[in-house]
Chains A and B, each alone.
Chain A
Amino acid sequence: MEKIIKGTVFVLGDNIDTDQIIPAEHLVYSLSDPEESKKYGHFALSGVPLSKAGLPEGGIPFIESVAKENYLSKFTVVVAGSNFGCGSSREHAPFALQVAGVKAVIAESYARIFYRNCVDGGFLIPYETPVKLNGKIKTGDEIEIDLNNDALENLTTGENYSLKPLGDILPIIEAGNIFEYAKKTGMLV
């Protein structure tokens, strides 16, 4: 696994529920077909009201809709407030972010099922921040996350922050997903 994640940040508010991450009407597409599953990237975060997308100013679409089939975002790290991923159990939510190119989310807290899905499915890293960062980091800032030291540097401003250690879930993240972890620990032959 990558120990250093560099990327451009997309900033969101509190209580971003799974309907905002991937609206329910899109949950009909295959997640295993490589071509069809790109739809999830295309519609990722399309449920967020535009005025609240890309804070602090808002009005920034996560996916450039110029090219109709575009599924990759130029933003690869999401910084949000509390209770990120609340709502439904749909694993399509972290999957959609992954397809769009997101490597990590940094939020004050997560809803349980979304958090599990990120880790057990190996889609992206859900880091928790002990301090509110969605007021300090701006959409478009370049950041670097150092997984060895649970540290975040805002390369645009030079500011440094500590993230909460990944703790119990680190071995699953390092293994890749819950199946690989279970094989490593002898749970699964």
Chain B
Amino acid sequence: MGMTITEKILAKSAKRGKVEPGENVWLDVDVLMTHDVCGPPTIAIWKREFGEDAKIWDKSKLVIFPDHYIFTKNPHANRNVDILRQFAKDYDIQNYYDVGTERYKGVCHVALAEEGYNIPGTVLFGTDSHTCTSGAFGMFSTGVGNTDAAFILGTGKIWEKIPQSLKFTFRGEMPHYITAKDLILRILGDITTDGATYCAMEFDGSTISSLSMDERMTLTNMAIEAGGMNGIIEADKITEDYLHERIDKEYEIFSSDTDADYKAKYDYETSKLEPFVAKPHSPDNLDTVRNVQGTKLTKCYIGSCTGGKLSDFIAAAKIISGNKVKVPTFIVPASTAVNKQLNEETISGISIKEIFENAGCVVAESSCAACLGGPMDTIGRAVDGEVIISTTNRNFPGRMGSKKAAVYLASPLTVGASAVTGVITDPRDFL
């Protein structure tokens, strides 16, 4: 019996020739990532357990991105960033990207890719559930809590159960009116929010091979919404081209054996898919945009690690260009690099940022912002019984800041079309 890509990477990390699903193994961690919400409690546990003279297992492998609660007056949130800043200073952490400096990057999962920390064949843990995003680079990545992160910080190791794998194959050309967001919403509708619990979600097929890294990251990002331990896509030329612009390191590319064992396989003919939404209040509450079109909105939101990458804004701008938005529309670039690209990339000679500004959108600074509600003064936060369509990842009750709000999740094309009309709108009406 062969092995899946996930099993091969975990076997290497566990220094084993072979691993099997269900086995518990100790892994060597290549990168530990943390941020302002979970970094301070992780540091506190690490000091509690290893003492005041605690040593970091390998400083070069620790990466810290303040990104969650950044542009707020909340004193407790600001104190968390102060704790990270002091920690980075005390321990001389080179990979710390401080707020208010030119080093500030924004949302960790997008910044990990941009800064060259995502390397095929490696193992990355982070104190954030969307750490599974990095799997788009043919690597193993997953989220953990503060205690596990503190254990890694002191030892470089963590126990993990080898997951069973699920395979999702998409074949054929991607229609121009859908994006990777529609693919993952469809999967969630099919397998539900616990359909991949403790499993690896592997994506392949000719459609996936044609996707940009931005789009691949949208797929792996939302593996956690199905309960997945990790999402993974084999590295190929598109991956390597992205990497060669950023890093000069050796790496190993892994791929699944043809006789590897899968818990289940799902096949999709991509041309038959259409624009989807996840209706309130769960990411698996699937429907077609056509079935809910006309639903009156109070706000549109384009941002986050899921839907705040350059490709997401280009998609939305294609529809918004030359129009005015009918409801307040928030544009929150995931990273400062994406923000910069909004000024540089153009459609018909007009920058993406100008297209949004001319349409009346609010363009905010890079951070996680209202995707997870955040402090009361967070830009775009849901209030009362708002009806919102968003490119973000979760719509459980209260996720964007108000338990009374109804949040629809959709692709940037669908959110762009809906911003222009003020009601949920199928992007095919514009394309």
Measured between alpha carbons, how far is A48 from B396 in the docked complex, in Å?
Answer: 10
Q: Is the CB of B144 within 8 A of A19?
A: no
**Pair A25/B282 contact, Cβ less than 8 Å:** no
- The smallest C-beta distance from B345 to any residue of chain A, in angstroms, reads 31
CA distance A112 to B200 in the complex (A): 12
Residues of A within 8 A of B394 (CB): 17, 19, 87
Q: Is A29 an interface residue (CB 8 A)?
A: yes
Cα separation A169 to B357 with both chains bound (whole Å) = 53
Collect the chain A residues with CB atoms within 8 Å of residue B44's CB: 30-32
Q: Is the interface of A mostly helix, strand, loop or mixed?
A: loop
Q: Which residues of A contact B161 (CB under 8 A)?
A: 168
- A74 at the A/B interface (Cβ < 8 Å)? no
A61-94: CB near B (< 8 Å → 1, else 0) gives: 0000000000000000000001100111111100
B-chain residues with CB within 8 Å of residue A112 when the two chains form the complex: 197-198, 227, 229
Given contacts A88-B128, A91-B38, contact A19 B147 (CB under 8 A): no
Give the chain B neighbours of A116 by CB distance below 8 A: 144-145, 148
With a cutoff of 8 Å between Cβ atoms, the chain B residues found around residue A90 in the complex are: 37-38, 145
Q: How many angstroms from the CA of A30 to the CA of B38 in the assembled complex?
A: 10
A27: CB under 8 A from chain B?
yes
B48, A32: Cβ atoms closer than 8 Å: yes
Within 8 A of B (CB), among A153-189: 168, 177-179, 182, 187-188
Q: Are B374 and A25 in contact (CB under 8 A)?
A: yes
Instruction: Looking at the assembled complex, report how far the CB atom of A29 sits from the nearest CB atom of chain B, in whole angstroms.
Output: 6
* Residues of the B chain whose Cβ atoms lie less than 8 Å from the Cβ of A88: 128-129, 372
Q: A28-B77, A89-B129, A116-B145 are in contact. Are A111 and B197 (CB under 8 A)?
A: yes
CB pair A187 B147 closer than 8 Å: no
Judged by a CB distance under 8 angstroms, whether A142 is at the interface is no
A49 close to chain B: CB less than 8 A? yes
Contact of A5 with B by CB under 8 A = no
The verdict on B24 contacting chain A, using a C-beta distance below 8 Å, is: yes
| Residue numbers in B under 8 Å from A131 (CB-CB) | none
Residues of A within 8 A of B197 (CB): 83, 109-112
Say whether, besides A32-B44, A32-B48, A113-B129, A120 and B145 are in contact (CB < 8 Å).
yes
CA distance A168 to B69 in the complex (A): 37
13 contacts between A and B (CB under 8 A): A15-B282, A25-B401, A28-B79, A31-B41, A86-B396, A89-B38, A89-B127, A89-B128, A90-B37, A112-B229, A113-B145, A120-B147, A121-B147
Q: Report the Cα distance A48→B41, complex, angstroms.
A: 25
B221 at the interface (CB under 8 A from A): no
Q: Give the complex CA separation of A24 and B146 in angstroms.
A: 16
Chain B residues numbered 180-221 whose CB sits less than 8 Å from any CB in chain A: 193-194, 197-198
